[in-house]
Amino acid sequence: MWIYVLIGAAVLLIGGVAAMLAVTYPLSKRVYFNNLVRTSPEKWGRVCSAPENEEQISMWNSGCEWAEDHKSAMTEVSIENEGFKLYGEFYDFGSKRCVIILPGRCECLMYSYYFAQTYTKTDCNVLVIDTRAHGKSDGMYNSIGVAEKSDVKAWARYINENFGVEEVYLHGICVGSSAGILAMSDEDCPACIKGMITEGCFTTFRETFKRHMIVDHRPLFPVLDLVMHHIKTHTGARAVKDSPIRHVRRLSQRMLFIFGEKDLFSIPEKSKELFEACSSPDKHIVWFAKGGHSHLRINNTEEYDQAIIDFLDK
């Protein structure tokens, strides 16, 4: 008698799981391909990613004005790495120091112009890049920093060997920070990379993507973990194991962490956890009360720039 009850319960459970996956698996694929896969050449091109956002438009226009003002210092550059042709722009201001700006998901090198303005206030050249699968660069998948870390190292070697840059600093925004931290924690990280400025870096991609799904009112279970499964299947990246929180424990380079108290995606509690986990003997943290995720500079321009200048010129 009881055996039939157990068999019936098992059948109902399996049927329920199958029915749930029949609905949520296609949904998770849509979420993954919408957010982490370049499904057409136009997607993540050299255009403003959020033209409906007033702050984003203001940042974009300000950055483009900076690029126009400094076009005489610019050289178009490109490298090949792991079979991908990657494109960038090198702004030579006669310094032996250079910052490589690593933009966030969906952003091209033109987005980075806005952050380049900080570095013309101090002695620093600037390299802005179309990360893999963005702008003019080859690629289809965003691997949350795991594959991109190799590109970061390749770019650092390139400017060191071709432009006489002796000191390289990285400036990462969101997932760009992940690529930078993973690159710097590798044993073969170029010695010319001396440190990094991170804005809105997350502990793990799973954690920050969960926050995005909550804000977007998407169902978390089991869609969130199915999206993480798609990331691993298509790129090999593991959203928890290949994460900044694990790799900052191996850093020896200088680090400046910039965080926002109102950041909905890299929340203060997790941001503090990331800073505390960092093993760098020369690490600093700056908090801003105003501004959302990746929008700290536009709300705190003078203070933001001064924090970076003080860090670089220490």
Instruction: Encode pLDDT of 263-289 as tens digits.
Output: 999 999 999 999 999 999 999 999 999
pLDDT at 5 over 50: no
- pLDDT band at 2, cuts 50/70/90? low
pLDDT at 128: 98
Q: Write down the pLDDT at residue 17.
A: 45
Mean of pLDDT values over 154-178: 98
Alpha helix ranges (H) inside the chain:
2-36, 54-69, 109-119, 148-162, 175-185, 205-215, 223-235, 244-247, 268-277, 301-312
| Average pLDDT of every residue of the chain | 93
127: phi > 0 → left, psi -120 to 50 → alpha, else beta; which? beta
Give the burial class of 218: count Cβ atoms within 10 A of its Cβ; 0-12 exposed, 13-18 middle, 19 or more buried.
Answer: middle
Query: How high is the pLDDT of residue 11?
Result: 39
Confidence at residue 8, expressed as pLDDT on a 0 to 100 scale: 41
The lowest-confidence range among 57-61, 219-223, 235-239 is 219-223
Alpha carbons 311 and 314: distance in angstroms, whole number: 5
Answer whether 0.85 is exceeded by the pTM: yes
Name the fold adopted by 53-312: Rossmann fold (3.40.50)
- Separation of alpha carbons 41 and 188, rounded Å: 33
Confidence of residue 13 (pLDDT cuts 50, 70, 90): very low
Question: Which pLDDT value is given to residue 177?
Answer: 98
**Which residue, 113, 111, 108, 100, is CA-closest to 133?**
108
Q: Please determine, for residue 82, whether its predicted confidence score (pLDDT) is greater than 90.
A: yes
Domain boundaries, the chain: 53-312
**How much is the pLDDT for 218?**
86
Residue 20: pLDDT band with limits 50, 70, 90: low
Q: Is the per-residue pLDDT at 7 higher than 50?
A: no
